Structure 1
């Protein structure tokens, strides 16, 4: 292979490469390139064509240009508008740039030209045939080159020219083309060409596979689209609507009509699109429809304005309920704050009290006073956590929890929401519903309550929560910690009379169609019904008895055609039968071994007579009257205290070895428990052993310790009311229960004397009748 050196102008090419024997048009616009063309035209019309390494470079330096290129002959020049020159060139042979002689007006380079004079060998022949075969395969697969071109390539006999011709027809990267151009050795060049052709064939095979797959998918899609359009046309002709399209449009219409948080709107939009793309009759379509219905029905931003007229709210609360001052005061405080600030979170009120005291109806009154919507959910017997948080949408028949269901029912973001009977919930293998309520009833968390079904945070912070329970000790402590507890202890006899007169009697008369002329209650009738026919802290049984009276009167008026029926304390038994309950009466005389105690029950307070008998024996202590474990322990503690104080009380110090003591609490069929009777039993034992009577006008309650300390107990209001009912005038209470006296109605507190004690010695001093009294 010979070399020839000469100096010719250089034309740098951008994004294109010219092989020998290749005829091509080039558009030249750069000043240096135009100058190079002019120089070539002046001399022998030869120019060096070399490709730039970076096509974007407008002013390439020598190092930016590949060192091997093609010497070409300029066949034709044509000046185009805008100063560009179109030039037709034909590649002659390879050359390498040895030196850049000049770089001023244009690049003048000294080159080495290569002559391809390589003898034919069997190996070269084999490579040539392989190249031709692969090129034929490539043409068949690519279909980018017409068959005539293939014929013109195949007839070329020189291996070097053939390889350049094939390379010029391939769509290769500049780097690959440059590698072929730089391969001066024909054998190397053919080997590279075969390698490149093999690679291109693999790519074409992959493209073909992909195209077949895509075409099949497109054909399927087009077929489905065509069939759907046909179905639409048929339905249109028949006058039927496309349920799917109209359904999706309806959802979109509902979405556009609502003001929803961005996150919710995006979720709904996404689900609508899923529904739209889903084939008809797919089971999941029903799940998405139900989900969309729930999301669009929830009150994400709908609120009702609060009535912030404090006087009006107070009037309504007074109209609906008698007493219950603490609750009314708390609601009026909340309304006052709402008037001053909009950002106030809804309070969480826990109303604790026995059945029938008006907890549920009080929640309704709160809603009426504030002009808010009201929703009630009963939690009695709820065992499944999903009842609160909802089920995952993957379950069959999944629904949101009761909280979200209640919010949808009420259609407002700020209702009065009543969670009834929270102390009746239970935990089992399905989870602990009380734990799920922690998020609902936590003011710091419930602004983004997460329901498993809805899967979007829902704001519950504007809700005014009212929770009800019969007893506080059944409410889990973490839940109780998040609530503001208001205890409704029950009503006094006077309060019950007023409630009956103001609310219960008018309501039942209206329900039974009776007028004030047809049924007349005397002054003492209601009081007798309360005392002899009911035993409760609330007024539910009282209302039931009043309804019973109204039914009896209604029958007499209709059957006997009477114009009016008067019910008095004397004829009450003819309507309601014999009295169901008897109330204990205060002892008339002081008695030895009999002390009056006060007890708390679920239906209010009660009075207990503690009886103690002593007899000769071996110091056995007997307890009867269905006493619970705590009460038995209180009796033992009282007995041990008496033993330690035997000398001071003038009792034989060895009485516990000679005397049997029997403590009995009447009404033996009724279970009794609690520490409240501790000082009462100790007083009765002391009286029996000393022979000193216990004052009949005194009742007492309190827990006792071995050292004789008197500890506080609960239910003071109910116990005092029970004592007041039977005519007790003096009550002994633990010193620490002084704060509970404020809860007792003023008229009761003023009519009684309270003796506050810290030690058992004070109890015995006050309760026993001493010789000098």
Structure 2
């Protein structure tokens, strides 16, 4: 099927998560409208009948954002639980599209095509490339790293900006919609560079870029205040690490990496990766623990109140807790929950934490 400039396609409505061109997204299908769309337009005899959909974004109960994403359906999962059919979609973004006429479960869209020969700012492109290379280094996926480097080699900066923004974790729904709806490629690149240069102060695991890749217009001005430099930052980190009681093995590894960091130039790309790792180590609750309070009757009540059915799962959890209580230890014991999104894996884990008096972490 060829993507025309204007065409009618099935619609999947989402209220969180934004699919950018070149990125991928897993969408759990929960609403009756989306289920109807899948059953009427995407499946035929158990197989995928239509590989293209429009991802439309609900910004309020009765309003859909004016720009959507034409997407290719890579995989369609379907399963039955408690006599109810559930679906999940794996989609890849292809194009931005104006939603011209919405008539659920389909809509008429017109593909948004970037103007050829856009006049990109040289400084912005350099900043984009520097930030993209750092993202490639931080990525745990070799495929994403290769894709980033290929786009740099091909000088495809608009697709590169789309891919980079899709990898910045701290961006919210509104920010991603703003980026999706920005039709001028040079403005999208500027937004991408701006966001790559921002530090997410609330989470040391997020992307952190050296100030050298931030455009001059985005750099904070020093108005007489003393700004901590990289050396002071490392000294503070070392002081924090010295106050933590590590085991000998962990201590050797941590302070070996700290020594390597102190002898590294702060402009090296690996510097920020190593700094982030050490900040994470320093932030972990090494000397903090909770006392387990395992009461089988209490756990049974919490599981029953928080989840309907799922009797086999709840019984297995109770057996696991009973063994922990009998052995008076939970060290080394792991439960692994598998299955598609939206079937209750995380909520079961939260219920287990609540029943044991532990703080839930993910």
Q: Please give the TM-score of this superposition, normalised by the length of structure 1.
A: 0.24
Please say which structure displays the higher CA radius of gyration.
Answer: 1
Higher relative contact order (Cα pairs below 8 Å, separated by 6+ residues): 2
Q: Please give the TM-score of this superposition, normalised by the length of structure 2.
A: 0.49
